[in-house]
Amino acid sequence: MTSSPITREEMWIRQQICGPDINYDLWKEQKATLQKWAALTSGNLFAVDVYAQNYSFASDHFSDLFGYKLSQLRTIEKQGDLLEDKIHPEDHDRMIAMQIKHSEFIYSLPLENRNDFQSIYCFRMQHVHGNYIHVTSRQQVLLTDRNKKAWIILGSMEISPDQTPDKNFRYSFIHRKTGKVFSPDCLLKTDKKTHQQGRRDTFPDPAGITKQRNCGSTAYKHSHRTQSSQKHSYPVGSE
C-alpha cells in the first residue's frame, strides 16, 4: 500500500500557528521597511505569510522585470500564487517537489534549529519581453510567532549571472550560522536507496544534528496549479 501524496499546503499546516501567537502590527512595520529597501535597491523582494497561507508582500520591481501589473503586486494577498505563474512549467514542478522534500527535512529537526537555513533556488522565469531567463531566489525566515515557529518568510529574486542554456532548475540551502552548504543530491540518493531497501537511513544534516527518518514510503506529487478558490502558499523551505 502506498501513502497519499503530500501537498505543499499540508506541509505548511504542520506549523500549527495560532492567531494569538502572531503580531500583525509588527509585520505591518516590517513590510513598510521592506518597501523602502526594495525601492532603494530596485530589488525583487517578496514575503509569504505561513499562517494565512498566501503571499503577503511583493515589491514593485517585479513589474519592471517580469511584467506584472502594479495593481496586482500591491494586492498580492488576493492574487493567489501569481508570482509563480511566470516560472517555467518544468522548473515549477521540480521546485514544488524539492520544497516538499526540504520541508520534511526541516520538520525532522528540533524546533530550535529549524529557522537557521536559507534556501537557494535557481530556475527559469519569463522575462517582461517574453523570453525565459535564469533567476536566483533566496528565502529565509523573517518573523516567527511567539513559539519561534516560522511565520513570515522573506524571499528575494535576482537575475542569475549564469545564463547557460542547459542549466535549468538547481537547488541548495545554507546553514546560516555555520556557513555549511547542502545540495539535494545525497537527499535524493538516500530517498531512492531507502525506497528500494525499505530501511531507515540517516539524513545528511548541515548543522551537524543527526536525525533518522523513514523517507521511503512517501510519494511527492503536487499539481503546479491549484484551484483559485483554495488558499495558496509558497513554501520556501525554512520552517
Rounded distance between C-alpha atoms, residue 147 and residue 215, angstroms: 27
Which of 36, 40, 48 lies closest to 84 in space, CA to CA? 48
Q: Check residue 55 and give its pLDDT.
A: 95
Radius of gyration of the chain (CA): 18
Closest to 184 (Cα-Cα) out of 95, 124, 113, 112: 95
For 102-125, the three-class secondary structure string (H helix, E strand, C coil) is HHHHHHCCCHHHCCCEEEEEEEEE
Angstrom distance (rounded) from CA 64 to CA 42? 9
- pLDDT band at 5, cuts 50/70/90? low
Length of the chain: 239
205 compared with 83, residue with greater pLDDT? 83
Categorize the per-residue pLDDT at 185 as very low, low, confident or very high, splitting at 50, 70 and 90. Answer: low
| Range from 30-34, 111-115, 131-135 carrying the lowest mean pLDDT | 111-115
Looking at the predicted structure, is the pLDDT value of residue 76 above 80? yes
Domain boundaries defined on the chain: 8-213
Which numeric CATH code is attached to 8-213? 3.30.450.20
Query: What value does the mean pLDDT take over residues 188-194?
Result: 46
Contacts of 117 (CB under 8 A, 6+ apart): 106, 140, 173, 174, 175, 176, 206, 237, 238
Query: Would you say residue 232 has pLDDT above 90?
Result: no
HSE-up of residue 103 (Cα within 13 Å, Cβ side): 24
Average confidence score pLDDT of the chain: 78
Q: Are 139 and 123 in contact (CB under 8 A)?
A: no
66 in helix, strand or coil?
A: helix
Q: What does the pLDDT look like over 96-117, one tens digit per residue?
A: 888 888 888 888 889 899 999 9
SS (H, E, C) 3-34: CCCECHHHHHHCCCCCHHHCCHHHHHHHHHHH
